[in-house]
Amino acid sequence: MVNIKLLSLTTISFLIFVACGSSSPSYSSYTPASRPSSPPRWAGIILTGENEQLLEGTSWIYNSSGAIFIHEFRANGKMVNRVTFENGTQGSSNYTWQREGNSVTIISNDGNSLYEGKYYPETKKLMLDYELSSGHTGHLTWDLYQGTSIVSSPATPAPTTVIIQPSSPAQTSVTPSAPNAPSLRGGTYGLSGTKATISIASVGKAGVINYVTTDGRRGIGSYGIEGNRMTISMEGYTFVYTITSETSFSGNGETWVRTGY
């Protein structure tokens, strides 16, 4: 009986020693969890449209460097956007919108962009400031699309209840040509430190680009050049750059340099 008790105490001491030793983690097999990517800045926000009809049922046009954007305000805060490039490529996306008085708010369906601005009944224009999740900002002016009607704004009484848009939509103003602007050469342009590229086969006043985004997505967009001002439209967004030489352009904190054909 004495030997059994001693053996039990020895066994218990050994088990305690093993348990304490096993509490230390094995760092050689530890893999840290990857940090989840941040969601789009305005993800999940659904806007409700308007409580009295003004914009609902109307379409608006925006021309940008060979691409035509048509924006349709629909019921319950739904907006359908359609884009047609000069090479015939088409696409569409759904946004959500809201109007209070003459103030208008629009959010892209993926939550990556926010548009805020006003409807001006005197000129029948929508003037918007936009911001992307990345922090990029800009300005847009939309014109009432040919053949659509808009109810008079409650804030601006008019003798009739409907104002008809003239037969041809107003065109977006363009910055005058800059003197002695450098002529950009055709080829492939890269963004330093990334795998993003923009390819322009032949440079003119406007045309088509092939692009690769920083995360490897490929697509077709468009460009337009006026003087040393260059606009590029892709994935539903328009970016403005300055042509700095025959082989480079920059803007929005980016510098694109020609890497070859």
pLDDT tens per residue, range 150-185: 755 444 444 444 444 455 554 544 444 445 667 899
Kindly provide the residue ranges of all beta strands, DSSP E only, lying in 101-245, ordered along the sequence.
103-108, 113-120, 125-132, 137-144, 149-151, 162-164, 187-191, 197-200, 206-212, 218-226, 229-234, 237-245
pTM for this predicted structure? 0.47
Q: 250 pLDDT exceeds 80?
A: yes
Closest alpha carbon to 53 in 72, 74, 80: 74
Lowest mean pLDDT among 54-63, 86-95, 108-117: 86-95
pLDDT digits (tens, 9 = 90+) for 24-59: 443 334 444 555 567 888 988 999 999 998 999 899
- What span, in angstroms and rounded, lies between the C-alpha atoms of 83 and 62? 9
pLDDT digits (tens, 9 = 90+) for 177-223: 445 667 899 999 999 889 899 999 888 888 889 999 888 888 888 99
Residue that wins the pLDDT comparison between 12 and 65: 65
- 237 or 249: which leads in pLDDT: 249
**Domains along the chain?**
59-164 (2.40.128.20), 187-260 (2.40.128)
Mean pLDDT of 83-109: 87
Task: Give the pairing of strands 125-132 and 229-234.
Answer: unpaired
245 three-state secondary structure:
strand
The tokens for 167 are 């037969």
Measure the CA–CA gap between 97 and 76, rounded to whole angstroms. 9
**By C-alpha distance, which of 231, 191, 250 is closest to 215?**
191
Length of the chain: 261
* pLDDT tens profile 224-234: 999 999 999 88
Question: What pLDDT score was predicted for residue 152?
Answer: 55
User: What CA–CA distance (Å, rounded) separates 119 from 103?
Assistant: 7
Q: Which residues, 6 or more positions from 214, have their beta carbon under 8 angstroms from its beta carbon?
A: 191, 194, 195, 196
Judged against a pLDDT cut of 90, whether residue 247 lies above it is answered with yes
Report the distance separating Cα 72 and Cα 137, nearest Å.
23
What percent of the chain has a predicted confidence (pLDDT) above 70? 71
> What is the structure's pLDDT at 27?
36
Q: How far apart are CA 238 and CA 86, in angstroms?
A: 15
Instruction: Calculate the CA 155 to chain-centre distance.
Output: 32
Considering only residues 4 and 260, tell me which one the structure prediction assigns the higher pLDDT.
260
Confidence of residue 16 (pLDDT cuts 50, 70, 90): very low
Task: Please tell me the predicted confidence (pLDDT) of residue 180.
Answer: 63
